[in-house]
Amino acid sequence: MKTSNNAPWFEITSPFETEFGKLMLLEPPTAKLSELRARLLDQRYEKPFVVDDGQLRYLYFSVRLMQSAMRLAAPDELALRYTQKMMAFLLFVPRPERIVLIGLGGGSLLKFCHRHLPTAAFTAVEIDPDVIAFGEAFLLPLPGPKLQIIEADGADYVAEAAPGVDVLLIDAFDEHGFAPAMNNRAFLESAWDKLSAKGVLVVNLAGEREGYAGLVGEIMHVFDDQVLIIPVPDDGNHVLLAFRERHFEPRWRWLHNHARELRARFGLDFPSFVQKMERSAKLGLARQMAGGRGV
């Protein structure tokens, strides 16, 4: 076990058969390697940790829950497909002035927005100081006039935030799944209230559908069914977009044309995003996922 230069973690060889390379752990110098390995292998290790295989660097919230990935050769790119699809908000809010992210993770969305939307004020809210402590491992930019990283409960932050948020990104999970503090109507009503007139709520839905059917139903209720879904088959996720604009109506032909422009600018497959949204809208996927709730 060794300490990383100028960083608050220790590196050990991965003890996992399926994860090669090294692990970065937030542990004191007196920690015993044998005990750490045992806690990792029998899934008693409770802190987030990083796996580095030489090409990719992953943030795990638990042995079973991988949250973020970063390509070492391209640290500002979005390595996971669900994060790419969360950027679909640009189809509807092309020049956001204020973006709030609940759930920092490895900072993939933060870095992408900071690089490609330099005029937007970006605030990332993360409840776990251990996640924030891995910021250097994921090459996060330093905070500045347009960038804040705040240690706080996401629900509390939204409740106290000033209105006028153009984009509210929710990628909030703990070792058990979606953050309970944001899986309720009170939080969603607060989120709706803090969005700008044409603001967008973007939520990463992961895990079994039964686990978030109630959340989808509540979002549909609060946002008056103004909801679109983008399936992420490879990840098993779904990305949900909810619109504060009461009479929101997607202009599909215009969106298909606009998507090609955004692909050229940002390098993401916006045409595919629009295709998936249009198909899911025609199939009524959001209502199916809600199991009839939200009516």
Domains and CATH numbers, the chain: 2-71 (no CATH), 81-290 (3.40.50.150)
Q: 252-266 and 270-283 helices cross at what angle (nearest 10)?
A: 150
Q: Give me the pLDDT at residue 293, please.
A: 45
pLDDT in tens, 167-201: 999 999 776 678 888 989 999 999 999 999 999 99
Residues of the chain with pLDDT under 70: 1-7, 175-176, 292-295
Taking the whole predicted model, whether its pTM rises above 0.85 is answered as: yes
End-to-end CA separation in angstroms for the chain: 55
- The answer to whether the CB of 201 falls within 8 A of the CB of 195 is yes
Closest Cα to residue 125, out of 95, 105, 139? Answer: 105
Q: Strand 237-243 vs strand 195-205: parallel, antiparallel, or unpaired?
A: antiparallel
Closest Cα to residue 198, out of 123, 89, 113, 284? Answer: 89
- The Cα 141–Cα 139 span in angstroms is 6
Q: Give me the pLDDT at residue 65, please.
A: 79
Find the catalytic residue in 128, 166, 171, 225. Answer: 171
Told to judge if 171 belongs to the known catalytic residues of this protein, a careful annotator would answer yes
Closest Cα to residue 268, out of 7, 142, 89, 99? Answer: 89
